[in-house]
Copies of this chain bind each other. A is one copy, B any other.
Amino acid sequence: MFEGCEPVEPLPPPGFAPEAVAACAEEILDRLGRAERPVMMVGVEIRRYGLEERVAELAKRLHVPVVTSFMGRGLLASGDTPLLGTYIGMAGQPEITQLVENSDCLLLFGVIPSDTNFGVSEKRIAGSVPITARDRAVSMGFHRYSNIPLEAMVEELLRRVAGQAPRAEGARTEYPHGLEADEARVTPPDIARAVNDLFARHGSMPMAADVGDCLFTCFDIENTELVAPGYYATMGFGVPAGLGLQAATGRRPLVLVGDGAFQMTGWELGNCRRYGWDPIVVVFNNQSWEMLRVFQPASRFNSLDDWRFADLAGPLGGEGVRVSTRRELALALDRAANTRGRFQLIEVMLEKGAVSTTLARFVEGLKRRH
């Protein structure tokens, strides 16, 4: 019942003109040379084309500070490039936001120009004229070089600055550590702090997040190995992605997910027993579609019921605990990290309105704008 078919011949890679790449690289270096505050922002293409190491090397020889775009969070995670952090516009760390928005020569390497990456900009970014290398073309000033493969351009630039001593620019982002394990109610910043402590003690874990404040909380977590959907896209991604992480890598993942998303796909945890997976799942339970409530507070449907996820963990084949205080959170995380073989669900009860630092800045920035 199956029809055989010939193997698919991959198309040969498209060619390009080395002289065009040379002319382009020359102009980039000329503009960089005249800049006082250059900055490099990296995006998905540097991973897609396997260029992370080369780009890190280039940044050090160009002596420019490096940040990732929002969707590029996780790039340059390994290696010794002092990655300053992630640009999130009005929702991001002020130092990084200002660095990017005040640059007189912004290099965008493989960054997707989208609302997700730039919609939160405080000032016009897309409006100014960064040097943009993406989709096999390079634009700067008012003109554009076509058919410039990113790899070829990076290599040409490296060739031309080979003589420069490598130097990392800028100070690394500080991440919060040292959770105060007291009776205070847990807030999202506490969760980030607790995770940073956990990873410092037990070692890093790859992370999967769902949409909402669990995603924003990740920006205060030092480890940047993260898969997640953009702001509101693909809700329900978190738990299944975490299972996929463990299935694909064999490493134990940490999943951050809101109660709204858990209602959609959290039940997939029932598959863990059969396959031997044991993720640690932190449920941000504020009994709310909080992101929607922030923008449309009048709608009552944003308030959700109390679904008691910790109690559901056992019947599904794992272990669950409900926590409210920081002390309970610290204990639960530690115990979860020390328990293998059964998924560990930590249901964190959050008060409505308790938000991450990133989300707080986001809301603040929107108020300023309107």
Question: Which one of B141, B267, B305 contacts A263 once the chains associate, using CB atoms below 8 Å?
Answer: B267
The contact string, 1 if C-beta is below 8 Å from chain B, for chain A 105-146, is: 000000000000000000000000000000000000111111
| Chain B: minimal CB distance from A57 (Å) | 25
Alpha-carbon distance between A17 and B317 when the two chains are bound, in angstroms: 63
The contact string, 1 if C-beta is below 8 Å from chain B, for chain A 262-284, is: 01000100110110000000000
Determine the chain B residues whose CB is within 8 A of the CB of A146 once the complex forms. 142-144
Take A315-B312, A316-B307 as given contacts and tell me if A143 and B23 are in contact as well, using a CB distance cutoff of 8 Å: yes
Take A271-B305, A312-B315, A316-B312 as given contacts and tell me if A23 and B263 are in contact as well, using a CB distance cutoff of 8 Å: no
Q: Which of A4-20 contact B (CB under 8 A)?
A: 17, 19-20
| Chain B: minimal CB distance from A266 (Å) | 8
The contact string, 1 if C-beta is below 8 Å from chain B, for chain A 287-324, is: 00000000000000000010110011011110000000
Q: Which of A138-182 contact B (CB under 8 A)?
A: 141-146
| Chain B: minimal CB distance from A305 (Å) | 5
Q: In the complex, which residue of chain B has the Cβ closest to the Cβ of A315?
A: B311
Instruction: Judge whether A76 is part of the interface by a CB distance below 8 angstroms.
Output: no
Determine the chain B residues whose CB is within 8 A of the CB of A142 once the complex forms. 17, 19-20, 23-24, 145-146
B143-A24 in contact (CB<8A): yes
Protomer copies: 4
| Chain B: minimal CB distance from A153 (Å) | 12
Pick from A17, A144, A314, A317 the residue with the most CB of B within 10 Å. Answer: A144
Q: In the complex, which residue of chain B has the Cβ closest to the Cβ of A270?
A: B307
Alpha-carbon distance between A143 and B316 when the two chains are bound, in angstroms: 60
Alpha-carbon distance between A144 and B317 when the two chains are bound, in angstroms: 61
| Chain B: minimal CB distance from A302 (Å) | 13
Take A19-B142, A143-B24, A307-B316 as given contacts and tell me if A270 and B274 are in contact as well, using a CB distance cutoff of 8 Å: no
Alpha-carbon distance between A218 and B193 when the two chains are bound, in angstroms: 55
Q: In the complex, which residue of chain B has the Cβ closest to the Cβ of A262?
A: B267
Alpha-carbon distance between A315 and B312 when the two chains are bound, in angstroms: 6
Determine the chain B residues whose CB is within 8 A of the CB of A317 once the complex forms. 305, 307
Alpha-carbon distance between A314 and B146 when the two chains are bound, in angstroms: 62
Alpha-carbon distance between A145 and B270 when the two chains are bound, in angstroms: 56
Determine the chain B residues whose CB is within 8 A of the CB of A145 once the complex forms. 142-144
A274-B305 in contact (CB<8A): yes
Take A311-B315, A312-B315, A316-B312 as given contacts and tell me if A305 and B141 are in contact as well, using a CB distance cutoff of 8 Å: no
A residues with a Cβ closer than 8 A to B are 17, 19-20, 23-24, 141-146, 263, 267, 270-271, 273-274, 305, 307-308, 311-312, 314-317
What are 30 A-to-B residue pairs whose CB atoms are below 8 Å? A17-B142, A19-B142, A20-B142, A23-B142, A23-B143, A24-B142, A24-B143, A142-B145, A142-B146, A143-B143, A143-B144, A143-B145, A144-B145, A144-B146, A263-B267, A263-B270, A267-B267, A270-B305, A270-B307, A271-B305, A274-B305, A305-B317, A307-B316, A307-B317, A308-B315, A311-B314, A311-B315, A312-B312, A312-B315, A315-B315
Q: What 6 pairs across the A-B complex have the smallest Cβ distances?
A: A20-B142, A311-B315, A143-B143, A308-B315, A143-B145, A274-B305
